[in-house]
Structure 1
Amino acid sequence: MSNTSQQELSEAILERAAQLLRRKGVGIPDATIILGSGLGKFTNAIQDPVVVPYSEIRGFPETGVAGHDGALYFGTVGERKILAWSGRFHHYEGHPFDRTVLPVRVAAALGCNVLVVTNAAGGINFRFRVGDLMLIDDIISLPVRVSPHTQKFHHRYASDSLVNEVTHLAAKAGIAVTRGTYLYAKGPTYETKAEIRAFRIMGADAVGMSTAAELNEAIRLQMTCLGISLITNLATGVSKKKLDHSEIAEAASLREKDLMELITRILSGPDTPLYKPEYRFR
């Protein structure tokens, strides 16, 4: 299928999805959040949610990764209306990039202009330990960096001031966070020791198989963006332990309470900086 045909198909899916969600009672979200592997328990914090399985949205792909629920939740967290996506679409599963960013585009079509993404990532930085929380302050994207809908390159992925404010917010809550550069690699196989050494030289602190396209699309749509990585394993060569996807749930449980509190404070806390208009990309 040509790129033009792919884009036309995605536009049709987007329009149908937005219409369906409105009919089901999904309103205008204050913020949308994409929940990474092992991080889906945040949906328990959403009050009186409207739940829509992806399977009910015509044209939406299926999620095929363990730890991904495959449904969206719309409801209240504190005083904010939140649209949460429990499960994402990965390029390595065979989905074109314009499908992997459908949650971002649907949220924007519903009137949302704030995106938070979370992911499970491998730690490249020698300072990292399993269970660390990293605020993403920059992205290295391999092999693609541009949005599927534009040839414009973006030179920022998060506002330094926003990351600084969220770091301060976390500190006030007694939640330890760090910040760093996230490297996107297609997957699905884990990286080799040589690749990890190269990524470290490039300046990467953590590596994963998602997130970059979502952030890039949100920037194109002039949304406020924030990314959070949970370090679920140490990358090949950083640790001698064999990598296993089952580690993700174990690592998530280590920081589950802190991560849920941090996300809640970021999305709906009285001192959250997330909704300041100066942090929208324009």
Structure 2
Amino acid sequence: MVLRGYVPTSEETLQTLAALRLQSLNSDFSTHAPFPRLEELFPPHVLHARLPPPRRRPPSKCRGARLRAGLLAGGLWGQTLAKQRAERDQRLRGRLREEGASTMAAIVEKWKLLQGMGRPEAMAAYVALVREWPGFGSTLFDVHLRAVRPRLGTGRGQPHPMAVLMPLSPQSPLGAGPQRLWLGIGAKAVALYKPGEPEPLDTFCYGRISSFGASDSSTFRLSVEDRDLLFETSQVDEITQLLITYLASAGTRQPHEPATSPPALAPSVPPQGLCPAVTPWQHRPPAGSLGS
């Protein structure tokens, strides 16, 4: 979860997590200890994000210049472009190695500060640090929110025509445009996250979800009160089955509040505490971890 980038936090915290993992694997620092590869300790996408974006040359406004470029593309001009691309890729690889070496050095320095910490203590500190994220314990799916629209009375399994994306509610931070999001399925609620952001854009306890299911093989529908949220995803079946499992489990824990309809389609009003208020994520170093 951490290495896949599903724990949005600072690089400092990610380095601390990597140091705790080294402590749990190898105990105290030693030059003879086996070192995992950096990508086994630290999210690779963080290093790639440090690289400068490729510069795009503005198109020439001269029609004659464009024509000459087209005529020479298969000759010397094409060879020059290929050489420039190779040089640029080599520079980026060198920069990536430098960033990786710098990050590994910072991780090792934090590892040295953990001397004397036992393996169980290091593992407990690691988990405590990750658990501070409000989305911990949820299963996250990469989805594209394609439409939010007033709920229609279409039958199950029928395709939903796409509509203009509209805000879910006046208080919802979901904007008016297609968005790539994380859909977090948890035991107590469903949440929508902007990738890399620690706080959810919106959270729906199961009492607000009136129905859900597949509109087609690549579109998942989540009906929240009087709105339909349509997500494009390749994991429609996985999302549906996980929601069914959580709803069935919630019903088992609360036998005095039986559902009036199948939990996969119309969950009952949730018991108290099923959808607690979300509080801002404030990082606090766990006991036994680095003090600074």
Fold shared per TM-score above 0.5: no
Q: Give the TM-score taking structure 1 as reference length.
A: 0.24
Q: Which has the higher contact order (CA 8 A, sep 6+)?
A: 1
Q: Give the TM-score taking structure 2 as reference length.
A: 0.23
Where is the strand percentage greater, Structure 1 or Structure 2? 1
